[in-house]
Structure 1
Amino acid sequence: MACGLSDSVFLFMCPHQKLRGSREILAHCSPSPGICYLKGDRLLQKGIRHRQFLFPKRTKVLQAVAIPVVTSPTDSADYRKKLAESYGFKQIGEPLPEDVKLKDVIDTLPKKVFEIDDAKAWRSVLISVTSYALGLIMISKAPWYLLPLAWAWTGTAITGFFVIGHDCAHKSFSKNKLVEDIVGTLAFMPLIYPYEPWRFKHDQHHAKTNMLSEDTAWHPVWKEEFDSSPVLRKAIIYGYGPFRTWMSIAHWLIWHFDVNKFRPSEVKRVKISLACVFAFIAIGWPLVIYKTGIMGWIKFWLMPWLGYHFWMSTFTMVHHSAPHIPFKSSNEWNAAQAQLNGTVHCDYPRWIEILCHDISVHIPHHISPRIPSYNLRAAHKSLQENWGKYLNEANWSWRLMKTIMTLCHVYDKEQNYVSFEQLAPEESQPITFLKKVMPDHA
């Protein structure tokens, strides 16, 4: 209604003059209620010349309405602050200038953040192994009503295994590359994650972050697939709605076990990783079942594994999903904008960040994947000092999760996302349910 009113006032004030290029004027409404602004390729340019072109000098009142139109509210700190509060962010970054290159950002980072420290790397292994062992003891000793807490701890602890393998895949764990491949494979095995297939696809995610079709980690739903069949539409609504914090399980199954998804030069290493994973299943699972029974397998492996996937899904979607962050086609994509301005830093409770080796400090990791996890905080501090106004930062909260799970659905070039409720309101009861039960506060 506010946008419609703005349009009416704008056109009413100049009934006698034809607006050339008026098709370029858009009334753009944010997903946040009550935030609305006019947008146009010509109107966003500042200068007296444009005001004179649109409005005759003899119309005095027109000078008053020209002021908010010629300056985009997206450039306003107050606008970004309101948007941040609405979405659950601490800060929404200013748009990064188009002439900034990724190398410009990398060159501002201290050289020491790229240095590999074997002692710190192996300390992270010790933290993960110790915290996982403690988790297994907690599961074995806890009464039934405390088991969820034990599972939450253990699932978070084995997420640390993933982060260690993640560093190995990026060649930021050890100077010895054979050691990295061995440690990465062993770290991924309890997660039933084939190391090499994941590494190949994850490299593509870093090369094409927030690229609409090519990013292999996370992207919006496409309208074509949403409309393709009623069954798929219902599955997508549930998957990107209430089950979104476990969607990495679907990604794990689809992307990492099909040899045909990899280049011929990659297939040999893919098969070795698959053999390691299947060997763990063939030996490890029967041993667990033999010692503890099927219920023991559920208690000691399955539930922590689901806890790991909760973090895998949550970290990924929070890092790369926000209503104001676009996914772009390859011909419009800019590396610096995607990695610095299109990746989200999120602060979690400290115990989670310790067990997960600061994987949530994600912007510097996308600026350069060669930065070891134990140097990410120092790198982020440098980015804040040099590029702070362009960063998107948040605290993990119900408000943030609610925004992502109820708004960030189907890709739209103009709005970035359109929610399922807008496209299929009669089928979007899961989203309506989330809006009711998820709190708006932090």
Structure 2
Amino acid sequence: MPYNFITLDESASVDSSSASEALPFTLQDLRASIPAYCFEPSVWRSLSYFFLDLGIIATLYAIAHVINAWWFFPFFWLAQGTMFWALFVVGHDCGHGSFSRQKWLNSLIGHLSHTPILVPYHGWRISHRTHHRNTGNLDTDESWYPVSQAKYEQMPWYEKLFRFYLPLLAYPIYLFKRSSDRQGSHFHPASDLFRPSEKWDVLTSTALWTLMLAFLGGLTYAYGWLFLVQYYLAPYIVFVIWLDLVTFLHHTEQEIPWYRGDDWFFLKGALSTIDRDYGFINAIHHDIGTHVAHHIFLSMPHYHLKAATKAIKPILGSYYRKSDESIWSSFVKSYRTCRFVPNDGSQVYYQSSEHQQN
């Protein structure tokens, strides 16, 4: 089924001539600095990451089945949930068209990567397209965008609970309800997330998601709830925590600007993110923390992002953001301080609830 994502040339057209007036470089300047090979995916290399992740997941299941001891399962949950997250990142590349240039292969591997971890591939792919086309735009961004102070003060307790106090468990709810001030579901083609031409893509992914849910129900019926918790639900929760943690840290930082109205354009918004270092996890989750270059060049394979980052850093200068803090220190700091942005202003930054009281 045909689908569209924003391409390198399209992202250049998204930026109007105002880009050269507001930034000391253009998208074309950045692209010209990057070696040409960085823009070309290798099908075999991409497939090798997919099969490697599947192989590790299968091995972990086999080890857990053989050992089958209470003391081992917490280690298994952490490792397997992390591998679920790695598999999600493979599907993420498929959604961007950076896995391969063959749309049918991207859809196939995307579904094989996402359906087992209860992600509706096309529904998520399309909403993620909205996020990338509108990164840093307070009015139109899709995920982990800040709310205004007025909205924060009006939010019901249950919405604040998952948005600000249990943010690392928010993803499944987001699939069904999206974020604040956004309507619709990732499962229903009538959602304003989707174009009419994307109806069958969305229905296909929703049907496969439903079949996966039925399969898990069948396992539970055959082997019991404890089996489901030990072998699937606990790793799934770890996966959700990883997904929310990484996405939160990509876009939630007091130093990252957000824009309203005409002050926003594509490249400016794409720079409203930050690179993070996850230590030895970087290789396991396919360098997803190399996020600035990814937001500028959406269809670049993950295995070329480091080389691209090295090439564009001298041009970006102070516009390039990277945190050297530990991941958990950064999370705790942003968790405590990033609550809302001012009601007015074309370029705004996160403020804390303590700021509101002063």
2:87 matched residue in structure 1: 161
* Residues 285-314 of structure 1: per-residue CA shift (max 9 Å, x gap): 134224531111111111111111111111
Provide the residue aligned with 1:419 in structure 2.
Answer: 352
Ranked by relative contact order (alpha carbons within 8 Å, sequence separation 6 or more), the top structure is 2
Give the % identical residues.
26
2:232 corresponding residue in structure 1 = 301
Of the three residues 193, 196, 214, the one matched with 2:140 is 214
1:391 equivalent to 2:310? Answer no
Deviation at 1:138, TM superposition (A): 4.3
> Retained in 2: the 8 A contact 1:222–1:411?
yes
1:247 pairs with one of 142, 148, 170: 170
Contact 1:139 1:151 in 2 (8 A): no
Q: Residues 291 and 206 from structure 1, CA distance in 2 versus in 1: closer, same or farther, beyond 3 angstroms?
A: same
Give 1:119's aligned residue: 44
Cα distance in 2 for partners of 1:175, 1:107 equals 21
- Map 1:30-429 to 2 at 5 A: 98-140=23-65, 141=67, 143-228=69-154, 232=156, 234-254=157-177, 255-261=185-191, 262-282=194-214, 284-340=215-271, 342-350=272-280, 352-395=281-324, 396-412=326-342, 413=344, 416-423=349-356
Q: Which residue of 1 aligns with 2:15?
A: none
Counterpart Cα distance in 2 of 1:209 and 1:394: 19
Displacement of 1:203: 0.8
**Which residue of the partner structure matches residue 6 of structure 2?**
none
Query: Structure 1 residues 194 and 164 mapped into 2: Cα distance closer, same or farther (>3 Å)?
Result: same
Mapped partners of 2:133, 2:115: distance in 1: 26
Q: Distance in 2 between matches of 1:160 and 1:245?
A: 17
Note the alpha carbon deviations across 1:219-269, whole angstroms, 9 max, x for none. 11233332335xx1x234432333112222221222412332122122121
> Secondary structure of 1:227's match?
helix
Distance apart, 1:211 and its partner CA: 0.6
Task: Flag the 1:197–1:424 CA change in 2: closer, same or farther, 3 A.
Answer: farther
CA distance, structure 1, for counterparts of residue 251 and residue 123 of structure 2: 21
Distance 2:110 2:294 in 1: 18
What are the ranges of 5 or more consecutive residues in structure 1 without an aligned counterpart? 1-95, 426-442
Deviation at 1:123, TM superposition (A): 1.1
* Structure of larger gyration radius: 1
Measure, in 1, the Cα distance between the counterparts of 2:312 and 2:222.
Answer: 50
| Contact 1:127–1:355 (CA under 8 A) maintained in structure 2 | no
Preserved CA contact (<8 Å) 2:25 2:315: no
**Structure 1 counterpart SS, 2:341:** strand
After TM superposition, the score normalised by the length of structure 1 is: 0.69
Distance of aligned partners of 1:424 and 1:241 in 2 relative to their CA distance in 1, 3 Å threshold: farther
Matched residues in 2 for 1:383 and 1:273: separation? 36
- SS in structure 1 of the partner of residue 228 of structure 2: helix
**How many positions carry a matched residue from both structures?**
324
1:433 matched residue in structure 2: none
Contact 2:220 2:228 in 1 (8 A): yes
Unaligned runs of 5+ in 2: 1-20, 178-184
Q: 1:139 to 1:408 in 2, by over 3 A?
A: farther
DSSP-derived class of the 1:175 partner: coil
TM-score normalised according to structure 2 size:
0.84
Instruction: Say which SS state the counterpart of residue 142 (structure 2) adopts.
Output: coil
Residue 138 to residue 420, structure 1, CA distance change in 2 (3 Å): farther
Q: Quick one: distance in 2 between partners of 1:420 and 1:146?
A: 41
Q: Which amino acid in 1 is paired with 2:227?
A: G
What amino acid is the match of 1:188?
A: H
SS in 2 for 1:417: coil
Comparing 155-164 with 405-414, greater Cα deviation is found at: 405-414
